[in-house]
Amino acid sequence: MQVTGTEDVAAPIEHVFEELTAFDALERQALRRGIDVRRQFRGGAPTLGEGWEAQFKFRGKDRTAKITLDAYDAPNMVQFGGASGGLETNTLIELVPLSPNRTRVSVVFKMFPKTLSARLLVQSFKLARSNINKRFKKRMSQFAREIEARVVRNA
């Protein structure tokens, strides 16, 4: 299954990329949402192949996910891989400058079930695809507006 979204952000590409790779801030956001995030690397940012381990509750069960940084090309692209149980994921975030102060952010999130239970989970996601797409696009829009607000504050 694949979920995609595109959003235009009124900010320079370098600033948008910096916000998308502000791993400390993203870890704090996850913690506020009840996700226990542990770094599997030293320093402020992971190198390729390093990442995080996250523990969270989903559908009444405790889950563990491993997230790794798979590709990093500043300020154009960042890619993450993930695995939780029998489900593997791939997230590609691409940035394209539309003008000096406008950037298009494209996100492609793919899920690859490797076990029967993961296939059942992905099938339930497919049944709720329109709702998932709406929520995903809404969250992308919120994140874009937050980045724009920080650009205005810092200017």
CATH code where residue 103 lies:
3.30.530
Q: How confident is the model at residue 14 (pLDDT cuts 50, 70, 90)?
A: very high
Question: What pLDDT was estimated at residue 112?
Answer: 97
Question: What pLDDT was estimated at residue 90?
Answer: 98
Q: Does residue 62 lie within any of the structural domains?
A: no
Question: What pLDDT was estimated at residue 19?
Answer: 93
Which residues of 25-147 form beta strands (DSSP E)?
A: 36-39, 51-58, 61-73, 77-84, 87-99, 102-113
Q: Which helix (H) or strand (E) holds 4?
A: strand 2-9
Inter-residue contact 94 to 77 (CB < 8 Å): yes
| Structural domains in the chain (count) | 1
Distance, CA of 126 to CA of 106 (rounded, Å): 21
Q: Does residue 10 lie within any of the structural domains?
A: yes
**Range of the structural domain that residue 87 is part of:** 2-26+69-154
The answer to whether the pTM exceeds 0.75 is yes
Does position 155 have pLDDT exceeding 70, yes or no?
A: no
Tokens for 41, please give them. 């690397």
Q: Does residue 61 lie within any of the structural domains?
A: no
Pairing of strands 102-113, 2-9: antiparallel
Q: Does residue 58 lie within any of the structural domains?
A: no
Q: Does residue 44 lie within any of the structural domains?
A: no
Q: Does residue 48 lie within any of the structural domains?
A: no
Please work out, in degrees rounded to the nearest 5, the angle formed at the alpha carbon of residue 47 by the alpha carbons of 35 and 53.
20
Q: How confident is the model at residue 10 (pLDDT cuts 50, 70, 90)?
A: very high
Q: Which residues contact 13 (CB under 8 A, 6 or more apart)?
A: 75, 76, 95, 96, 97, 103
Q: Does residue 60 lie within any of the structural domains?
A: no
Inter-residue contact 66 to 53 (CB < 8 Å): yes
Distance, CA of 140 to CA of 84 (rounded, Å): 23
Q: Does residue 31 lie within any of the structural domains?
A: no
Determine the 3-state secondary structure of 14 from DSSP. Answer: helix
